[in-house]
Amino acid sequence: MQQDPRIASLALRGHQAASGVFRAALASGRLPHAWLITGAPGIGKATFAFRLARAVLGGEDPSSPEGRRISAATHADLLVVQRSYDEKRQRYRGEIVADDVRPITAFLHRTAAEGGWRVVIIDGAEWLNRSAANALLKILEEPPPKAVLLLTSSAPGRLLPTIRSRCRRLELAPLSTEDVRHIVRQAVPDIADDELQRSVAGAHGAVGRALALLADEGGRMAALVEKILSGVSVGQSYDIAETVLRKEDGFNLFFSLLSDTLQECARTAARRGNAEAARFAQAWEAIMRLQSETERFNLDKQETLLEAMTIASKA
């Protein structure tokens, strides 16, 4: 159900303020060479980055040669770096490594194939390991002319401060309820009205979260998350872990819903001036780190789920 950001970028909705900042810089002829696009998970950062790439490369018209090449992933002046997919294990690798970043140097130092700009999108920059981050830093320190790097990150605090300091930051705000409803309806034309309402209501302005909620048929996984936050016994924790792991992609869906719920609890508590906000934020950070380490080092998922439930219930 996940949208292809290359295609989705053609029908981008919302994020007008951030788009306006970038387009003004592009029109001025003084475009910063690196941008850090941040925002909540599922808010459309990759889609937004591809829209900016289209603006730079002249590919916003889907019927134009440039537009068709971007959609087909064949544009010679656009390079995309992200976590690679492990076909054997049927999951994304736990980090972006130096070998993924090294092609950027050769790409940026050759002449643009179409005589204009070269664009690099690094999707999920928080997944850069230390070697990859250092390799990227060298590129940012000596950027070639007529080149722009677009980094997306849901957790910019995990990036090296020296990388953050060399990027112009664009923070994406949550989409309006109407925008989320429109995008979900376009992505899933046959969606039932009640399922549409459920997914949009819990999306908090993030299309990715709305689509994740749709994958959680009937809201069963979300109900388990709410149950965990209310406190569960050891026996119940094992039953929940088994239920999560039986569902296709249940592990990632569970962590997505749990982390989003903790973030929302932290925001709500902060708005009320409640001291519990810090505890929720710490629990979210611990759970995100736990998921990342499990993916990176191929740890036991059942043990990870049990530990995540312990952290969440204590929060």
d(CA 145, CA 2): 35
* Cα–Cα separations (whole angstroms), residue 198 to 7, 204, 214, 222, 229: 25, 11, 8, 11, 20
The reply to whether 257 falls in a domain is yes
The reply to whether 177 falls in a domain is no
Could you read off the pLDDT of 22-52 as tens digits, one per residue? 999 999 999 999 999 999 888 999 999 999 9
d(CA 12, CA 1): 17
The reply to whether 182 falls in a domain is no
Q: Are residues 155 and 13 in the same domain?
A: yes
Q: Are residues 15 and 140 in the same domain?
A: yes
Q: Are residues 16 and 109 in the same domain?
A: yes
Could you read off the pLDDT of 219-233 as tens digits, one per residue? 888 899 999 988 899
Q: Are residues 272 and 123 in the same domain?
A: no
Q: Give residues with Cβ within 8 angstroms of 8, minimum separation 6.
A: 44, 47, 50, 183
Last residue of a domain, one of 142, 171, 200: 171
Q: Are residues 137 and 236 in the same domain?
A: no
| Domain residue limits at 222 | 216-314
Could you read off the pLDDT of 65-86 as tens digits, one per residue? 999 999 999 999 999 999 877 7
Shortest CA distance to 209 belongs to which of 164, 154, 149? 154
* pLDDT at res. 89: 67
**Length reported for the chain:** 315
* pLDDT at res. 1: 52
* pLDDT at res. 212: 81
Last residue of a domain, one of 112, 147, 171: 171
Distance of CA 234 to the CA centre of its chain: 32
- CATH number of the domain bearing residue 114: 3.40.50.300
Q: Give residues with Cβ within 8 angstroms of 256, minimum separation 6.
A: 41, 42, 209, 212
* pLDDT at res. 235: 93
Q: Are residues 34 and 146 in the same domain?
A: yes
d(CA 130, CA 66): 35
Last residue of a domain, one of 107, 142, 171: 171
Residues lower than pLDDT 70 in the chain: 1-2, 89-91
Q: Are residues 57 and 138 in the same domain?
A: yes
The reply to whether 207 falls in a domain is no
Q: Are residues 44 and 160 in the same domain?
A: yes
The reply to whether 101 falls in a domain is yes
The reply to whether 140 falls in a domain is yes
Could you read off the pLDDT of 239-264 as tens digits, one per residue? 999 999 988 778 888 988 898 788 88
Identify the three-state secondary structure at position 72. coil
The answer to whether the beta carbons of residues 217 and 188 sit under 8 Å apart is no
Q: Are residues 18 and 146 in the same domain?
A: yes
- Token readout for 229 is 């936050």
Instruction: Please report the DSSP string for 141-173 in residue order.
Output: HSPPTTEEEEEEES-GGGS-HHHHHTSEEEEPP
Q: Are residues 161 and 229 in the same domain?
A: no
Beta strands in the chain (DSSP E): 34-38, 78-81, 85-86, 91-92, 118-123, 147-153, 168-171
Q: Are residues 11 and 111 in the same domain?
A: yes
Q: Are residues 10 and 150 in the same domain?
A: yes
The pTM of this model reads: 0.81
How many domains are there within the chain?
2
The reply to whether 272 falls in a domain is yes
The reply to whether 211 falls in a domain is no
